[in-house]
Amino acid sequence: MDLFVYGTLLSPDLMAAIAGPGPLVARPAALPGFAVHPIRDNVVPFIKSDSAAMADGVVWCDLTSAQKARLDTYEGAFGYVLKPVTVSAEGQDMPCHCYMPPEDIRGADGVWSLQEWEKTQLAPAVLAAEELFSHDPLPDHANLRRMWPMIEMRAWAKHRAQAAPARLRRTAAPDDVQIVGASPPQGAFYRLQALQLQHRRFAGDHSPVLAREAFMGADAAMVLPYDPVRGMVAVLEQFRVGPAARHDPNPWMLEPIAGIVDARETPAEAAIREVREEAGLEIVELKPAGRYYPSPGGSTDYFYAFVGLCDLPETSGYLGGLPEEAEDLRIHILPLEKAMALAETGEIATGPLLHLLYWLALHRDRFGAAAGT
């Protein structure tokens, strides 16, 4: 099959990640009668009929049936349909196919640029494609459409990962960890994946091949709202399935406000959004309070912690959350000292809230804490 593309699939790296094994030969081409436009509230383009326009692109030539099947999975999940077209390639008409967008796509003003997209979007797009095609069997279109936001979130978490200081611990070299095998990931929302790996030992040699399982989570932002004038904090209470599955007699947990960092969103943006959605509060200023792996022995979860300076309402508590996300939340507003006492008794038993409370107790003088707190 010969395939005309005009958008992100112009990138050889993304095309290779999606099409999979096999040769990829590109031929410059243009599709008359169509124009390329940005999609509203998105980072990818689409083509729209325009008798006076010409959509520039390339034709990927002689794609195999296996490559076509992978492309059908990737494009079909979002309503794109493969249709025959005739392009102009090096001055000659060339029959081929093109994935045409669904009719309900809304365009935006401006010009879409592959070069600008590649600067910020290519690397996580390749990571997302790699996760998608690690599944066996591949998801159908409906399931992939449902799974895609989390696939993108995990891809952006990998893209966001940076090395922290290593003054005491080992400074890792590229070949210190070798993944020698991986099973297809399992799970509908989160992922569990079995890995076979080796790592360099402190003696200098490599370990034997180890069989491990990793919970493939995402980056999250954690926020403790703090009113420095009144010395009050806001903590969230909600039911949690983890304690319930552990047979905890009381699975209602006290936690900071928290949420997953969306694709193309910074942790700070996620923190402000979650505080607004879950507690109806407006943060005046965010104070970074550390970042960490809560359970590095078997999870990729990574938390960005913040104290959010704000004006807390004159109440002891209220209900919060988004009904459309089935959130059943209660917000407690209490003095920092009372929250610290709950940490001492064990009523606060979640690591992120303990971390933020102790961090705030250590640093609150920097924020103009209320007298007597």
Placement of tokens 């109440």 in the chain: 315
DSSP classification of residue 15: H
The pair phi, psi for residue 262, each rounded to 5°, is -65, 160
Of 30, 27, 25, 39, the closest CA to residue 6 belongs to 30
DSSP classification of residue 324: G
Whether 277 is catalytic is: no
Beta bridge partners of 88: 30, 93
Task: Quickly count: other Cβ atoms within 10 Å of residue 182's Cβ.
Answer: 13
The length of the chain in residues reads 373
Select which of 314, 324, 325, 344 is catalytic: 325
- Beta-sheet strand order (sheet of 191-199): 177-182, 191-199, 210-216
Placement of tokens 């064990």 in the chain: 346
Placement of tokens 């059908």 in the chain: 72
Residues annotated catalytic, as ranges:
325
